[in-house]
Amino acid sequence: MLIKQIYLPQMENFAYLIGDEGTRTCAIIDPAFDPQKILNTAVSNGYTITHVINTHGHSDHTSGNAAIIEATGAQLCIHREDAGQVTRLLTRAISRILGGKGSPPAGLILEDNDIIKVGGIDLRVLHTPGHTPGSICIYADGHVFTGDTLFAGAVGRTDLPGGSTRQLLESIHQKIYSLPPDTIVWPGHDYGESPSSTVANEKQTNPFT
C-alpha cells in the first residue's frame, strides 16, 4: 500500500493518496485548494484515481472534489449524515471562495463499518461524529486517516453547526483509541508538532482527550 501525504498550505490541510500497488489504483482523501497538485501526485506515481473520499462535508476538505472527479471519473464517497452538505448552496459558495467548485453529489453513501475497496485494499469506514454529524475516519492496515476528528496533539472544533464535544470525545475514545497502539494517525490538518502521530502517542499525550 502506498500512502502519500499531500500538503495544501492555504489552510494547512493534508490530502491523502492511498494506492494499491498491485492494480495501480488509488483513493484520494479530502481534496481541496490545489486539485492539480493532487492529480500530478497520482500521475507521477503511476496511479489511477478511482475514489474520492470526504471525511466530512466542509468546503476546506471538499472544494477539489469536482476537479478530481471531472479529470478521472472517480466515485465520490461520503457518510450519509454529511452527504447533503457538499451540494448545499452555502457549501458551493464557500468552495468557490476557496478557489474550487461546488461538489457533485456522492456516488457512494457510507455508513459505519462499510468497506471501500480500492484494488486489493480494504478501507474501513469509522463513523466518528462530533466535528460534524457525518464525520468519518478511514482505517487501512495499521493506518487511520482522521480528518478533523483527531489531530496530532489536538482535536477538531465542535462550535460549528452539528458539532458536539461529547460526541467528538466519544468517537475518539471508542473508535480511534480502540485501534492497535502502533496505528499511525494521519490528520486532516498540519496543526501539531508533527504531520502524523500514533494512537499510543495521542492516548498518552493529547491534552484534549
What pLDDT, on a 0 to 100 scale, did the predictor assign at position 96? 79
Name the residue with higher pLDDT: 137 or 89: 137
- Whether residue 193 is predicted with pLDDT greater than 90 in this model: the reply is no
Please give the average per-residue pLDDT across 195-209, as a whole number. 97
What pLDDT, on a 0 to 100 scale, did the predictor assign at position 166? 98
DSSP letter string over the chain?
-EEEEEEEGGGTEEEEEEEETTTTEEEEES--S-HHHHHHHHHHTT-EEEEEE-SS--HHHHTTHHHHHHHH-PEEEEEHHHHTGGGSHHHHHHHHHTT--PPPPPSEEE-TT-EEEETTEEEEEEE-TTSSTT-EEEEETTEEEEETTEETTEE----STT--HHHHHHHIIIIITTS-TTPEEEESB--SSSS-EEHHHHHHH-TT-
- Whether residue 53 is predicted with pLDDT greater than 80 in this model: the reply is yes
pLDDT band at 3 (very low <50, low <70, confident <90, very high): very high
Q: How many domains does one find in the chain?
A: 1
- Whether residue 102 is predicted with pLDDT greater than 90 in this model: the reply is no
Please give the average per-residue pLDDT across 82-88, as a whole number. 89
CATH number of residue 177's parent domain = 3.60.15.10
Please give the average per-residue pLDDT across 118-123, as a whole number. 98
What pLDDT, on a 0 to 100 scale, did the predictor assign at position 100? 74
Q: Identify the domain containing residue 77 by its residue range.
A: 2-205
Name which of 207, 180, 183, 182 is nearest 193 in CA terms.
Answer: 207
pLDDT band at 93 (very low <50, low <70, confident <90, very high): confident
**Each residue's pLDDT tens digit, 142-182:** 999 999 999 999 999 999 999 999 999 999 999 999 999 99
- Mean of the per-residue pLDDT values for the chain? 95
What pLDDT, on a 0 to 100 scale, did the predictor assign at position 69? 97
What pLDDT, on a 0 to 100 scale, did the predictor assign at position 95? 74
Q: Which three cell numbers stand for residue 66?
A: 469536482
User: What pTM does this model have?
Assistant: 0.96
- Whether residue 89 is predicted with pLDDT greater than 80 in this model: the reply is no
